[in-house]
Structure 1
Amino acid sequence: MNSLFGYTHQLFIRTFVSMLALLLSVSYAQANIEVHTVNTSQTHQRIVLDGSIEAIDGATLSAQTSGVVQELLFDINDFVQEGELLLKISNEEQAASLASAQAQLARANASNTQAQLNWQRLKKLFPKGAVSQGSLDQARAEALNARSAVDAANAGIVQAQKAVSYTEIKAPFSGIVTQRHVEIGEAISPGQALYSGLSLSKMRVITDVPQRHLALLQNSESIQVQLDDGSLLSSEDFKVFSYADTNSHTFKLRINFDNVDLKLIPGTWVKVRLQGPVREQILIPQSATLERNQLSAVYRIEDQKALLTQVRLGALVGNQITVLSGLMPNDVIALSAYAVLNQDKE
């Protein structure tokens, strides 16, 4: 019973399709229809993808010492130059530590000077038998210890100076402030975020390339992106990730640019244009195509009839469109599909 129903259903569909084809065909001999002969052209395969711009260099500056915020010299969206002072932290404790380290160094230098003089004096007396070997050895050890104390005191000075320098936060690169995390008068501790910012000098465009288009990148020497104003930028510095996203099955593509003219703005969209090698393709006027129920078709002229023929279309090239399947070179098609429809209605 099921097989009989299936056969009847298939027969109904075939009969319906045949009747539809007859209804959607008109006499080419009677109609004034302009035609187009299908041929191949040497074209580049092209696709356009959406891409987003992001800064290559960005950072969040964190406190490396404790204290109270005394000055905030920049705010969100301000432009800063590399090395400019962003923030000041109270430095009383750090300055006191530096002064203590300097005093320790002075004491170490004085002790070292005395120890070195004593050792040199005993070295001269030892050959005369005026001092014992034990006294000489002890003087030498004291001189070495005094020298080590000076080295340690110098290291303490360096550490104390760094602690003082940590109370002044400077911009690591030229760019804009994107976040300010503290307020004046706020007590901060090491590791606490202070400012976030990004550099405008180097940008990258990020896009996702479908697996079927990955071959377009294999022999590409440069990639173009199109901005909102229609201008094109090219870059030879790009990288395709070696693995695909497990959900979308696309490959991440990064294209780096030197943002000399500051045309690339972080967070905005651009069009990424990928172009493959030259190959033979069938191109037909876009006016020859007809869209019905998510299917594409053209009217192919055969035996004095304009027959509706399904085609699979590809990318647009100017006012023409690529035909991937459904037509062969030297096929004759109606130049305007809608003109055929209107003729049929008459």
Structure 2
Amino acid sequence: MTAVIVCAVLYMVILERDRLVEFAAGFSADPAEDAATGDMAEDAETLEIAPDETGAHVVHVVARRSESAIAENAVRLRGRTEALRQVNVQSETSGLIISPPIRAGAFVEAGQLMCEIDMGTRGAALAEAEARLAEAQSRLPESEARLAESRAQLTAAEIDNNAASRLSESGFASETRAATTAATVSAAVAAIQSAEAGVEAARSGIRSAEAGVDQAREEISRLQIRAPFEGLLESDTAELGSLMQPGALCATVIQLDPIKLVGFVPEAQVDRVEIGAPAGARLASGREVQGEVIFLSRSADLQTRTFRVEIEVDNADLAIRDGQTADILISTDGIPAHLLPSSALTLNDAGALGVRVVTEETEALFMPVTMLRDTARGVLLTGLPDQVDVITVGQEFVTDGVAVEVTYEELTQ
């Protein structure tokens, strides 16, 4: 029963308000008070909508006269820090470690000894190679002397052959002697060829011996594993007495100064990023850093269709570590935008985001906008003229073409 009574009262108050007022007027003791009550109701109905001079109804709204300004339109990425260089320093030969280990976290200079391997018999192998080289070098003068002797014999044989040939032609010598001297010349030529081959063999032996010496020395140089660049050790070096094999890890060295910030740019924004552009980042620890873009990939990732970008940041104090999460902002060319309160935004019948503005004919008009970003003072919007009157209060009560009476915020502040 209570619910039925309440529904009846609400029906009379909302839908049958005029009849209820007339019914109550019959019991009013003060006609003047009734007239005042009627005037108040009429004023309430015309508070927002009132007729203008031509008789058409206008809507009272509050507007802001906004002018565009250049706003920074940075590319926002989420990425991580990455060491400039990281190398696993490995052994190239086998043997026992004879150097004490260097503990992880230590700073090493370029060329600093990290692991040393026992020489073993490599010293003897070098001495043997050097002895072979000396022996090969001693054979060369002997071979060159034989070559010189053979050339002298050839010269003498050619002189005898010429003399025998002339005497034979004049009848003063037999043809047998001429044939003998010619054979001697041929033998001398063969001896020269053999001597030249001996010289080449001696020189080849020297080169082979030199290669053996170089190989033995290179093998000895591999016994000392040194840091390829200055950096920090990410692991202990090989322990004293441990057996190293080719490819075994001596230590991992990373270089953190400078350090890189690595992110991935969506293909829709890749054209806005340029090499050398200033950039900044906020690390997960709260630290803010600045640098510049040093690399932008020309090839997209096949899975994410994004492009790798690298930013170089100074890290002289080595406080930034490898693998920290970073919110990255890459500076780009600014664009004109309007700073407006978020409450001024509205939607049209098609669901498009925009604002309603006041035209020169003092009528409402919907304009679509693009939100650049949100700030503590409002939202930055693009897509509007350089100067525009934006309705900030009452935009939900007007549609395109509706006449408005404007009160500007500048006049009320």
Structure 1 length normalisation: TM-score?
0.70
Larger of the two Rg values belongs to structure: 2
Q: Taking structure 1 as reference, are residues 299 and 158 closer, same or farther at Cα in structure 2, changes over 3 Å only? A: closer
**How many residues align structurally?**
294
Residue of structure 2 equivalent to 1:225: 280
Residue of structure 2 equivalent to 1:109: 137
Residue of structure 2 equivalent to 1:14: none
**2:298 is the counterpart of 1:242:** yes
Residues of 2 paired with 1:152 and 1:329: CA distance?
88
Residue of structure 2 equivalent to 1:76: 104
Residue of structure 2 equivalent to 1:188: 244
Secondary structure of the corresponding residue to residue 105 of structure 1: helix
Provide the aligned C-alpha RMSD in A.
4.0
**2:153 is the counterpart of 1:128:** no
Residue of structure 2 equivalent to 1:90: 118
Kindly indicate whether the alpha-carbon contact (under 8 Å) linking 1:52 and 1:270 is maintained by their aligned counterparts in 2: yes
Q: Taking structure 1 as reference, are residues 221 and 100 closer, same or farther at Cα in structure 2, changes over 3 Å only? A: closer
Bigger mean CA offset, 324-333 vs 247-256: 324-333
Q: CA deviation at 1:101?
A: 0.6
Kindly indicate whether the alpha-carbon contact (under 8 Å) linking 2:278 and 2:292 is maintained by their aligned counterparts in 1: yes
Residue of structure 2 equivalent to 1:271: 327
1:127-155 CA-to-partner distances (Å, cap 9, x unmatched) read: 23499423333222112211110111111
Residues of 2 paired with 1:77 and 1:87: CA distance?
16
Residues of 2 paired with 1:233 and 1:195: CA distance?
31
Residue of structure 2 equivalent to 1:119: 147
**Gaps in structure 2 of 5+ consecutive residues:** 1-43, 49-60, 158-183, 359-367, 395-413
Residues of 2 paired with 1:69 and 1:179: CA distance?
16
Q: Taking structure 1 as reference, are residues 277 and 103 closer, same or farther at Cα in structure 2, changes over 3 Å only? A: same
- Name the structure where strand makes up a greater proportion of residues: 1
Q: CA deviation at 1:246?
A: 4.2
Residues of 1 paired with 2:100 and 2:343: CA distance?
63
Quick one: which of 363, 377, 389 aligns to 1:330?
Answer: 389
**2:169 is the counterpart of 1:141:** no
Corresponding letter in the other structure for 1:226: A
Q: CA deviation at 1:182?
A: 3.6
Secondary structure of the corresponding residue to residue 89 of structure 2: strand
Q: Taking structure 1 as reference, are residues 28 and 77 closer, same or farther at Cα in structure 2, changes over 3 Å only? A: farther
**2:82 is the counterpart of 1:54:** yes
Q: CA deviation at 1:53?
A: 1.5
Residues of 1 paired with 2:110 and 2:83: CA distance?
16
Corresponding letter in the other structure for 2:131: A
**2:206 is the counterpart of 1:150:** yes
Bigger mean CA offset, 67-76 vs 280-289: 280-289
Residues of 1 paired with 2:118 and 2:299: CA distance?
49
Corresponding letter in the other structure for 2:87: A
1:197-346 to 2 correspondences below 5 Å: 197-217=253-273, 221-228=276-283, 231-239=288-296, 241-257=297-313, 259=315, 262=318, 264-285=320-341, 313-317=371-375, 319-323=377-381, 329-333=388-392
Corresponding letter in the other structure for 1:44: E
Bigger mean CA offset, 168-177 vs 200-209: 200-209
**Gaps in structure 1 of 5+ consecutive residues:** 1-25, 303-309, 336-346
1:164-203 CA-to-partner distances (Å, cap 9, x unmatched) read: 0000001111111123474322222222232221223343
Identical-pair percentage: 22
Residues of 1 paired with 2:153 and 2:357: CA distance?
122
Residues of 2 paired with 1:53 and 1:268: CA distance?
5
